[in-house]
Amino acid sequence: MKNSICIVGLLLYAGTAWSQADIYAGDAFRYSELTQTGTARMRGLGGNHVSIGGDPSSTFGNPAGLGFYNRSEITFSPSFNILNAQSTYIGTQTTNTKTTPNISQFGVVLAGNKQNENRRWRRTALGITYNRQVSLSNSFEFQARNNRSSIVDSYIVDANNRNLTGDQINNQYNPNTNEANFASAAAYQLFLINGTPSSTNPNESGPPYFRYDATAPTQQLNTFTSTGANSQWTIGYAGNLDDKLYVGASLGLSRLRYDFENVYRETVVGGAVMDNYSQIDNFSVTGNGINFSLGLIYKPDRNLQLGASLTTPTFTSVKESFEQSLRAVARDPNLPLERNEVFVVPNNFDYSLTTPFRASGGLTYFLGSGKIGFITASADYVGYSGMRVTTNVYDAQDNNAFKNDVRREVQNTYQNVVNLRAGAEIRAGLLRIRGGVAYLPDPYKVQLNNIDRSRLLVSGGLGFRTDRFFLDGSATYNTFKSAYTPYTLPNTSDFASAQIDSKLTTITLTAGVFF
C-alpha cells in the first residue's frame, strides 16, 4: 500500500480508518463531478445543453445541437473562479479567499453549405472545442489549539503497530539520500517519536513509543492549495433532417491534471524539548482519457424542441506521484538533532479510471416563435455507482482484489443521481437576458460528518449579438460543504476534522465571431 494513501484519502473526507479502496473510490468521484460547463451563454442558463443547440457547447453537451448552425463561428471563454472558504476546527474559524483565472472554453464550429431544398438532409456542421469539465482548484486553511493530541501520536500508533525495535526503524532510513521508507521512520530520525528502553538490554529500545512534551498542548495550522482540471477536447459532427430531426455524435479526448500541496504544522505550547514540527505533502496526478457521445434533438413544431443525449464513461489512464517530508525544530539545545528535515521515499502509482455513464433529456419552449425568448429544462442521470478503478502494478491476484475492493467501496458509498436544471432567455433587440438554476443531489448514500453535499447553483447572464459577432457574460454562485481530517487515531474523540463551508462564484466571458 502506498504512503500516499493516508493524505489523499483524508482529503475532504473524514473518518477513522481508510483503506486503499476508500481512497481510490474518492479519487474517482473527485475527477468525475461535473457541475457546470460550457460558454457563458450556457452557464447563464443553468448549464442546460440538451435541447437548445446552436452553441459551441453542443459539441460535448449534445452534439445534435451542431445541426442548427447555418454559418461558422469561433469562440473564446475566459473564466474567473472566486473561492471563499470558511473552516471551523476545534471551535476556531478561519477564512481565506482565492481567485483563479482559467480558460474555460474555446473552439470553432464549421457549418456546411445548405443542401438543395429537395434533399431531406439540409445541412451539417463540424465542431472542435476545448472545455474545462471539472475544476480542481481549491484552497483552505484552518488552525486551533489542540489539548488532546498531536499528529505525532499518529506516528506513534504506526510505529507501535509495526512492532519494530529502534534499530529496525533505523534500518528503514538511508542517510545517503536522507529518505525513510515510511513517515514514522522519518519521525524517529527527528526525535519526534522515541523508543522505550528494553528491560533486558538497556542498549536497545522499542515499543511502546512515546513523544516528548506529551502533555503540552499544540497550536495546529494546516494550509491546503490545489490546482488543475479535468479538461476535454471534443470533435463533434451533426446533421439536420428536414429541419425537424437533428442527429449528432462526438469523440472526447480528456486530459486530467491535479496537483496539491498540504502543509501541516504544530507548535508546542510551553514545550521543553520541541518547538515545532511540520508534515509537508505534495501530490501530482496526470491522465489521458477517451469517451463518446450521441445526441438527438427533435422539433415537433416550431416552438418546441426535445433533446436527449448519451455519454459513455470516460476511460482514463492515470499516473500519480506522492512526496512527503517531516521537519522539526528543537527547543532543547542538548537534543542531538542532526538534521531538521527528513524525506519519505516518493511513491508512484499507475491505474485506470472509469467515470460515470451519463444520460440527459430536456426540452426547450420558444416564446413568440423565439422572438421573445425561450425557457428550457433538463435532467441529467449520472451513474456514480458504476465508477471503476483498476491497476496492473501488482500480481494478477492482487490486481483483481484491488479492482473488487474499489468497486465494492464505490457501490457502498455512492448512489446514482439525477441532476435538475432550468433556465430562461429573454430577447430585447440585440440584448439577451438570461437566468438559470441547477440542483445537484448528494451523491453519498450516507452523509459523512453529517454534511449534506447536495449543491444549488444559481446563475445569470447578459448577451449582445449582432450579425458579425457576439459577447456574453455570466456569473454562477455555488455553495458546498466538505471536511478535512489532518490525522486519525484509534479513539475518535482524540482527533478532530475541519468543517469547510465554501462559496464559489464563477464569472465567465465569451466572445464569438461569425464567418
- Domains of the chain by range and CATH? 4-514 (2.40.160.60)
Q: Judge contact between 104 and 81, C-beta under 8 A.
A: no
Cα distances (angstroms) measured from residue 514 to each of 43, 411, 462: 21, 47, 19
pLDDT at 384 over 70: yes
pLDDT at 15 over 50: no
pLDDT band with cut points at 50, 70 and 90 for residue 508? very high
pLDDT mean over 400-428: 95
Overall residue count recorded for the chain in this entry: 515
Burial of 16 (0-12, 13-18, 19+ CB in 10 A): exposed
Q: Judge contact between 459 and 36, C-beta under 8 A.
A: yes
Amino acid letter, 515: F
Q: According to the model, what pLDDT value does residue 199 have?
A: 76
pLDDT mean over 375-401: 96
Q: According to the model, what pLDDT value does residue 452 have?
A: 85
Give the cell for residue 206. Answer: 522499542
Of 108-122, 197-211, 475-489, which range is least confident?
A: 108-122
pLDDT band with cut points at 50, 70 and 90 for residue 297? very high
Give the cell for residue 499. Answer: 468543517
Give the residue carrying C-alpha cell 477536447. 233
- pTM assigned to the model: 0.89
Composition of the chain by helix, strand, coil, percent to 5: 15, 55, 30
DSSP state of 312: P
d(CA 25, CA 35): 19
Q: According to the model, what pLDDT value does residue 340 have?
A: 94
Buried b or exposed e, range 281-315, using 16+ CB within 10 angstroms: bbbbbebebebebbbbbbbeeeeebebbbebbbbe
pLDDT at 378 over 80: yes
Of 35-44, 199-208, 225-234, 253-262, which range is least confident?
A: 199-208
CB-facing half-sphere around the CA of 166: CA atoms within 13 A: 20
pLDDT at 513 over 50: yes
3-state SS string over 382-404? ECHHHCEEECCCCCHHHHHHHHH
pLDDT at 84 over 70: yes
pLDDT at 10 over 80: no
Give the cell for residue 2. Answer: 502506498
Q: According to the model, what pLDDT value does residue 113 have?
A: 77
pLDDT mean over 86-106: 96
Q: Which helix (H) or strand (E) holds 29?
A: helix 20-30
The residues facing 324 across adjacent strands are 281, 344
Q: According to the model, what pLDDT value does residue 402 have?
A: 93
Mean predicted lDDT score pLDDT of the chain: 92
3-state SS string over 254-273? EEEEEEEEEEEEEEECCCCC
Q: According to the model, what pLDDT value does residue 198 have?
A: 81
pLDDT at 47 over 70: yes
Of 19-28, 320-329, 339-348, which range is least confident?
A: 19-28
pLDDT digits (tens, 9 = 90+) for 438-451: 999 999 998 766 78
